[in-house]
Amino acid sequence: MTGAAKSAADLAAEQAAHWNGPGGQGWLRAQARLDHSLVEIGRRVLALANAQPAEKVVDVGCGPGGTTAALAASVGPAGHVLGVDISRVLIDAALTRRLANATFIAGDAGTHPFDAASADLIFSRFGVMFFADPVASFANLRRALKPAGRLAFVCWRPPQDNPWSLVPVKAAAPFLPPLPRPGPEDPGQFSFGDRARVERILTGAGFASLAIEPLDVQMWMGKDVADVVANAGRFGPLARAFAEADPESVTKAKAAIAEALAPHVTTEGVSLPGACWLVSATPG
């Protein structure tokens, strides 16, 4: 059974509940580890976006504001960054940064009434794959862009290209309740994996001059296997299954994850391949 029959309203409510509940809390708890894992991807998408002094930027799905802070430094005191996130808990964390030239708003970036033609840059690191109606949401973002503005974001390629996610999930799955299996059009972490779908969404929303380039990275997962296993199931696809499983099954799942990760230990810690799309476009 997939979620294909759910309405857009149901899917949007599910995403809002997830990111205001376990998803947001899990992301916050793992923030230091995630910032470490995502540093290279962040560097690459920020370079693609190339924010300039005095520009106005929107950071979509800004989470606790790590990329918002980097963008705020690039645009300087004459510029401004608006961080938008559906998760109140993550916006509260972002607000503690007290950035002089950034504002944070809790809300759905797909429907937020941005000032029309006000932004030079719409940016996101992994914050655009969760819209219930992606064409309408990207059309809303496009309306916020100045005619000469640009869109730049990074999203994951499919799970099979992302062993950092797939290896632990495949190892643990036999010991856990069934994992969520989102339909191909449902929101979720890997919902922009299909390049043709990304093109269809952006073109449907009115964007032009699309560039969708692969980015391959090594994802740091933790300092050693024990460290990764201790944090397994804190967020992501395993979180709900771990929460629903009995303690014995969780122990077995963790042992299986440890075995599957053993070949991926490097001198720097546990590291597995990750695969993204770096996407840019203009408002057409």
Ligand X SMILES: C[S@@+](CC[C@H](N)C(=O)[O-])C[C@H]1O[C@@H](n2cnc3c(N)ncnc32)[C@H](O)[C@@H]1O
Nearer Cβ to ligand X, position 126 or 207? Answer: 126
Measured from the CB atom, the residue of 153 and 175 that comes closer to ligand X is: 153
Amino acid at 152: A
Compute the distance between CA of residue 158 and CA of residue 177 in angstroms, rounded to an integer.
22
What is the rounded CA–CA span in Å between residue 141 and residue 26? 27
Task: Tell me the two tokens of residue 247.
Answer: 């303690």
- The residue from 11, 57, 109, 221 that contacts ligand X (CB under 6 A) is 109
26 binds ligand X (CB under 6 A): no
Of residues 84-103, those binding ligand X (CB under 6 A): 84-87, 90
Determine, following the binding rule CB under 6 A, whether residue 188 of this chain makes contact with ligand X: no
125 touches ligand X by CB under 6 A = yes
Closest CA to 137 of 45, 207, 68: 207
Provide the sign of the torsion angle of the four alpha carbons 269, 270, 275, 279, taken in this order: negative
Residues 36-75, one symbol each (x = binds ligand X by CB under 6 A, - = not), give --x----------------------xxx--xx--------
- E strands in 79-144: 80-85, 102-106, 119-125
**Residue 128-147 contact track with ligand X, rule CB under 6 A, x = bound:** --xx----------------
Residue from 108, 120, 133, 186 touching ligand X (CB under 6 A): that is 108
